[in-house]
């Protein structure tokens, strides 16, 4: 029996649309064991079958290595909410691939895991940090495997995470983003991506805030989150330096480097938005982990 732990992720980080992602200290746990029949527990009944994303990824990985599918029992225990912009599907994809490798004796590198998971997810912005930990900038050269640049994130930084009780589906969020932008917008983004990654490394809140001024997606996606403006105002007047939409939403993530400020802001958010779930998170530096039970 093996257990795989995969961190949640925050993609885009405001300015890095489809390129940046960061692993955070919220986790999904998956237990795998060979079995007589397929058994999946710990998730809603409608996903306790072959259509479960963990199992689909498990099967796809076996096929990638020329292995035959075999029955397995999978138990899922997760802190990561579904369809809230925290990489819940990526945790399932990564766990399925790692489970297949472990139960068949395959040794896979993190780079291979990223490549297989990206083929399932379509792009690496969530799966790369889930596997590698820290903050990651990813891109895929034509005809090549994904390239991942890993950035250590300052341990001083705290990410106040606000999770509304409603979903924003990625498909809906993508529809509102323009397919073409002016050259000036592209130039605006490029320098700020470099600024944000450097700010995260240094723990430089002023640099992070100055860089986090997105013109590609957040101006359009904020309309899909009814509480966006009120939560942003609460965060910025409550001590956070900046805020971004996590992934496609509905989760919002504010940043500070003071734990006390983060705790006072969490109290304030819980008072004003009691229907929202809030966490004070750090950057996960380890990425996906596996242990034998």
pLDDT digits 0-9 by tens, 144-158: 888 999 999 999 999
Residue 273 is predicted with a pLDDT of 97
207-221: average pLDDT: 94
**195 φ, ψ (degrees, to nearest 5):** -65, -40
Which CATH number describes the domain made up of 158-281? 3.30.70.890
Ranges assigned E (strand) in the chain: 2-11, 20-34, 39-41, 72-78, 135-139, 147-151, 158-163, 242-245, 252-256, 277-281, 289-292
Residue 269, pLDDT above cutoff 90? yes
| 120: confidence class by pLDDT, cuts 50, 70, 90 | confident
CA distance 56 to 273: 37
Residue 41 is predicted with a pLDDT of 94
Of 37-51, 84-98, 198-212, which gets the smallest average pLDDT?
A: 37-51
| 99: confidence class by pLDDT, cuts 50, 70, 90 | very high
Residue 7 is predicted with a pLDDT of 97
Residue 82, pLDDT above cutoff 90? no
Residue 122, pLDDT above cutoff 90? no
User: Residues forming the annotated binding site?
Assistant: 81-91
Residue 211 is predicted with a pLDDT of 96
| 214: confidence class by pLDDT, cuts 50, 70, 90 | very high
Enumerate the CATH 3.30.230.10 domain ranges in the chain, comma separated. 2-152+284-292
Dihedral angle, C-alpha 261, 208, 237, 270, nearest 10 °: -60
Residue 142 is predicted with a pLDDT of 83
User: Residues forming the annotated binding site for ATP?
Assistant: 81-91
Residue 267 is predicted with a pLDDT of 97
Residue 146 is predicted with a pLDDT of 87
Task: Check if the beta carbon of residue 46 is closer than 8 Å to that of residue 81.
Answer: no
Residue 15, pLDDT above cutoff 90? yes
Q: What is the value of pTM for the model shown?
A: 0.92
Which CATH number describes the domain made up of 2-152+284-292? 3.30.230.10
Enumerate the CATH 3.30.70.890 domain ranges in the chain, comma separated. 158-281
Residue 140, pLDDT above cutoff 90? no
Residue 46 is predicted with a pLDDT of 87
Residue 162, pLDDT above cutoff 90? yes
Q: What is the pLDDT of residues 38-64, one digit of tens each?
A: 999 998 888 889 999 999 999 999 999
Task: Check if the beta carbon of residue 103 is closer than 8 Å to that of residue 61.
Answer: no
User: Tokens representing 184?
Assistant: 């000036």
């Amino acid at each position: 029996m093996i257990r795989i732990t995969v961190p949640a992720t925050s993609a885009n980080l405001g300015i890095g649309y489809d390129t940046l992602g960061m692993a955070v200290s919220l986790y999904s746990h998956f237990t795998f064991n060979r079995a007589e029949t397929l058994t999946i527990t710990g998730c809603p009944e409608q996903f306790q079958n072959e259509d479960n994303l963990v199992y689909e990824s498990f099967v796809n990985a076996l096929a990638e290595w020329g292995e035959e599918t075999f029955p397995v029992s999978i138990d899922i225990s997760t802190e990561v909410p579904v369809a809230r912009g925290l990489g819940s599907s990526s945790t399932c994809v990564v766990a399925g691939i790692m489970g297949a490798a472990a139960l068949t004796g395959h040794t896979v590198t993190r780079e291979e895991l990223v490549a297989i998971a990206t083929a399932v997810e379509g792009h690496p912005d969530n799966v790369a940090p889930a596997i590698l930990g820290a903050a990651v900038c990813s891109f895929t050269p034509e005809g090549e495997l994904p390239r991942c640049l890993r950035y250590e994130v300052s341990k001083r930084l705290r990410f106040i995470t606000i999770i509304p009780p409603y979903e924003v589906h990625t498909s809906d969020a993508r529809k509102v983003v323009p397919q073409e932008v002016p050259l000036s917008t592209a130039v605006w983004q490029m320098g700020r991506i470099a600024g944000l990654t450097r700010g995260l490394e240094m723990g430089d809140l002023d640099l992070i805030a100055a860089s986090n001024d997105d013109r590609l997606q957040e101006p359009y996606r904020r309309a899909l989150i009814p509480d966006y403006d009120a939560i942003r105002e609460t965060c910025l007047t409550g001590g956070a330096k900046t805020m971004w939409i996590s992934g496609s939403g509905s989760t919002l993530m504010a940043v500070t480097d003071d734990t006390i400020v983060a705790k006072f802001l969490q109290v304030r958010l819980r008072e004003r938005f009691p229907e929202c779930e809030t966490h004070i998170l750090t950057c996960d530096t380890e990425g996906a982990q596996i242990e034998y039970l």
